[in-house]
C-alpha cells in the first residue's frame, strides 16, 4: 500500500511516499529555517505563505523521487494537528484536493503520533508495550504505547517544551535560531565547570524546563562580559541539565511501567549528546530514529497513516484542522 503524505504543521513543507508503513520511496523536506532565523523564531503568517509557495513543487518531487505517479498511490494523508492553523490548512487542503480528484481515501494524522512512527521507518521496529519520549519544539510528553493506536500520556511539560527551552536558552546566549542545533554544535567536545539546576518534580512524570532557562538568564546577567569559551561552557551546562532530566525521568518511568523498550521521537531526539546518554544509561533497549526522521517530515505521517488504515481507524472526513489537538485523535 503506497501512501502519499504531507506535513505542514510548522515551518517545514514536507511530502513523502511510503510503502506499507516502513519503506521510504521518497522523503522531501523544504525547510523555512533560514527565512525565520532573521526573526529569531517562527512567524506564523510567513510560514503559511511559504507553505503555499512550496507545496506544489515539494509534492511533485516526492512523486518523481519515488518514481511513481498518482495512479499508483492508494491513500493520501496529512497532519491535521497540533500545529499552526494557517500552516496546517495549506497541507490539509492540498492533500484533500488530491484525494478528491483521484478518488482516494484521506487520512488525517496527529503530528505527535506521527513523530512516534518515525521509529517504524528505520531498521528494528518497536515492540509493545513501549514508552515513548516525544521531545519537540512544542511538546515534551511521556507516552505509554500498548499497541498501534493505543496511547496513554504519563506526563508532559508543565511549562516550556524541551525544544522550546533549547531555542530560548540559545537566544539568551546569543546563539542563532533554531537553538537546539546551535547549542549542539557549540558544545561539541566541551566539558564545563558550570552547573545549572535540574527540576526533577519528584513523584510525577511531568517535566519543567522554565526554571533552568531562568537560571541560565541569571547566570548570563551576573557574568556581564562574556567570551566565546564561557558561552560554550554555559551552553554545555544548560544542555546537560535538560538531558539529565529527560534521560533520568524516562528510564525511571520505563522501569516502573514494565515496558520492553524506550522509543524516542521529535526534533530534540536528534541531539547527539541525548542519544549517547540514553544508549549509555538505559538498562532497556532504546530506539531512536536517524536525525532526519526525528525532525518534522512527511514519511513519519505516512507510516502513522498506514497503521491507522490497517487497524481500520481512519479519520476519513476530518473536516478541519485541529491546531490544539492532543493525544490521540
- Count the site residues for ligand KG4 by CB under 6 A: 20
Is the distance from CB of 200 to CB of 238 less than 8 angstroms? no
Question: Which of these, 256, 2, 252, 269, lies nearest to 116 by C-alpha position?
Answer: 269
Question: Which of these, 271, 128, 110, 280, lies nearest to 187 by C-alpha position?
Answer: 271
Based on the shown chain and the rule CB under 6 A, indicate whether residue 169 belongs to the binding site for ligand KG4. no
The single residue among 30, 136, 270, 297 that binds Zn ion, judged by CB under 5 A, is 136
Is the distance from CB of 212 to CB of 199 less than 8 angstroms? yes
**CA–CA separation, 169 and 158 (whole Å):** 17
Within 286-325, the residues that bind ligand KG4 by CB under 6 A are: 295-296
Based on the shown chain and the rule CB under 6 A, indicate whether residue 181 belongs to the binding site for ligand KG4. yes
Dihedral sign, CA of 28, 34, 37, 38?
negative
Based on the shown chain and the rule CB under 6 A, indicate whether residue 140 belongs to the binding site for ligand KG4. no
Based on the shown chain and the rule CB under 6 A, indicate whether residue 81 belongs to the binding site for ligand KG4. no
The single residue among 167, 168, 253, 318 that binds ligand KG4, judged by CB under 6 A, is 167
**CA–CA separation, 47 and 18 (whole Å):** 25
Based on the shown chain and the rule CB under 5 A, indicate whether residue 164 belongs to the binding site for Zn ion. no
Please identify, using beta-carbon distances, which residue of 166 and 306 lies nearer to ligand KG4. 166
Within 279-298, the residues that bind Zn ion by CB under 5 A are: 296
* Beta-carbon contacts of residue 125 (< 8 Å; ≥ 6 apart): 22, 119
Tell me the backbone φ, ψ of residue 63, rounded to 5 degrees: -70, -45
Q: How far is the CB of 296 from Zn ion (least distance, A)?
A: 4
Based on the shown chain and the rule CB under 6 A, indicate whether residue 207 belongs to the binding site for ligand KG4. no
Partner that binds at residue 289, options Zn ion, ligand KG4, none, CB closer than 5 to 8 Å by kind: none
The single residue among 184, 241, 250, 261 that binds ligand KG4, judged by CB under 6 A, is 184
Print burial letters for 181-206: b (CB count within 10 Å at least 16), e (below 16). bbbbebbeeeebebebebbeeeeebb
Q: How far is the CB of 109 from ligand KG4 (least distance, A)?
A: 13
Q: How far is the CB of 258 from ligand KG4 (least distance, A)?
A: 28
Based on the shown chain and the rule CB under 6 A, indicate whether residue 113 belongs to the binding site for ligand KG4. no
Three cell numbers, residue 50: 511559504
* Footprint of Zn ion (CB under 5 A): 136, 296
Return residues touching ligand KG4 (CB under 6 A).
Answer: 10, 136-138, 163-164, 166-167, 178-181, 184, 266-268, 270-271, 295-296
Amino acid at each position: 500500500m503506497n501512501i502519499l503524505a504531507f506535513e505542514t504543521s510548522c515551518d517545514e513543507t514536507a511530502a513523502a511516499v511510503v510503502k506499507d508503513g516502513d519503506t521510504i520511496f521518497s522523503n522531501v523536506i523544504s525547510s523555512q529555517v533560514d527565512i525565520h532565523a532573521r526573526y529569531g523564531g517562527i512567524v506564523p503568517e510567513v510560514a503559511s505563505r511559504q507553505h503555499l509557495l512550496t507545496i506544489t513543487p515539494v509534492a511533485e518531487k516526492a512523486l518523481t523521487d519515488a518514481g511513481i505517479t498518482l495512479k499508483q498511490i492508494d491513500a493520501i494523508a496529512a497532519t491535521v494537528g497540533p500545529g499552526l492553523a494557517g500552516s496546517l490548512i495549506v497541507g490539509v487542503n492540498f492533500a484533500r484536493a488530491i484525494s478528491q480528484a483521484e478518488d482516494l481515501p484521506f487520512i488525517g494524522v496527529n503530528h505527535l503520533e506521527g513523530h512516534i512512527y518515525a521509529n517504524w521507518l528505520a531498521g528494528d521496529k518497536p515492540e509493545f508495550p513501549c514508552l515513548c519520549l516525544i521531545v519537540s519544539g512544542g511538546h515534551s510528553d511521556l507516552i505509554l504505547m500498548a499497541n498501534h493506536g493505543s496511547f496513554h500520556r504519563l506526563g508532559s511539560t508543565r511549562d516550556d517544551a524541551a525544544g522550546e527551552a533549547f531555542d530560548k536558552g540559545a537566544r539568551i546566549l546569543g546563539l542563532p535560531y533554531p537553538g537546539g542545533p546551535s547549542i549542539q554544535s557549540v558544545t561539541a567536545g566541551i566539558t564545563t565547570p558550570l552547573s545549572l539546576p535540574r527540576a526533577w518534580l519528584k513523584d510525577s512524570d511531568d517535566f519543567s524546563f522554565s526554571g533552568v532557562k531562568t537560571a541560565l538568564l541569571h547566570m548570563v546577567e551576573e557574568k556581564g562580559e562574556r567570551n566565546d569559551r564561557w558561552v560554550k561552557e554555559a551552553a554545555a551546562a544548560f544542555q546537560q541539565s535538560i538531558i539529565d532530566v529527560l534521560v533520568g525521568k524516562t528510564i525511571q518511568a520505563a522501569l516502573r511501567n514494565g515496558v520492553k523498550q524506550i522509543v524516542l521521537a521529535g526534533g530534540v531526539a536528534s541531539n547527539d549528546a541525548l542519544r549517547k546518554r540514553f544508549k549509555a544509561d538505559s538498562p532497556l533497549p532504546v530506539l531512536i530514529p536517524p536525525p532526519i526522521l526525528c525532525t518534522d517530515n512527511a514519511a513519519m505521517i505516512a507510516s502513522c497513516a498506514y497503521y491507522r488504515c490497517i487497524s481500520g481507524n481512519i479519520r476519513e472526513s476530518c473536516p478541519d484542522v485541529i491546531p490544539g489537538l492532543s493525544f490521540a485523535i
